[in-house]
Amino acid sequence: MKNTEGSSEAKRRAGEHAADLVDDGDVVGLGTGSTAAHTIHALGQAVDSGLDVRGIPTSFQSRQLALDAGIPLTSLDAVDGVDIAIDGADQVAERGDGGFDLVKGGGAAHAREKIVDAAADRFVVVVDPSKLVDPLDYPVPVEVLPDARPTVAGSVRALGGEPTLRAAAHKDGPVVTDNGNVVLDCDFGPIGDPASLATELSALPGVVEQGLFVGLADAVHVGSTDGVDVRGE
């Protein structure tokens, strides 16, 4: 379930602003979603102008966008590390320690996104102002092995959440992730302790990955019609 609020101009400004952080020779994690798409387009233009980078896509969508933009691609097992990852979010909450907690997975790519974002030396989030909240209260996407859906749904209810199997928009049946799994959107209402909930969800048998990104982001670039507000580093 994607959070579709926010203006296209604000998203464009945030995505392009973060693309300017990429240096020659960098390995870049390429996020998924409408705001990260602006970063990919901007990087493609920079590559056309001579920037030497390699991208690691986090989804089929970001891979296709990067190929169309002319960005050379690689994979985690072919590089020594990821210099920077740039990705969007469905919600962002600032922590008391100056860090950030996120809900991601509106595009059902959060498993691969988390792997790449966590591997990066810097993880930069690009959003519009509508994504800033306190506290997080967006349904948490949980990628689940198909056979485990009933038991995981029951466990989510025991944790106080209401799980909903994400339905596909243009076919009968559920959304299927790039990994071949299904997604439960789990509504817990306001999330007072994202770290504890993330730990509990990750421990459920059959869960591949959950969409709480706790303390992973180094900076958040918030686009608006007037410019970009950089929070964090």
233 is annotated as an active-site residue: no
Q: Among residues 9, 16, 94, 113, which one is catalytic?
A: 113
| Strands of 27-30's sheet in order across | 54-57, 27-30, 82-87, 120-127, 219-223, 228-232
Q: Is residue 101 within 8 Å of 90, Cβ to Cβ?
A: no
| Radius of gyration for the alpha carbons in the chain, expressed in angstroms and rounded | 17
- Closest listed residue to residue 143, CA positions, set 191, 108, 168, 104: 108
Of 178, 175, 197, 195, the residue nearest 187 (C-alpha): 197
Residue 11 in 3-state DSSP? helix
As annotated, the active-site residues are 113
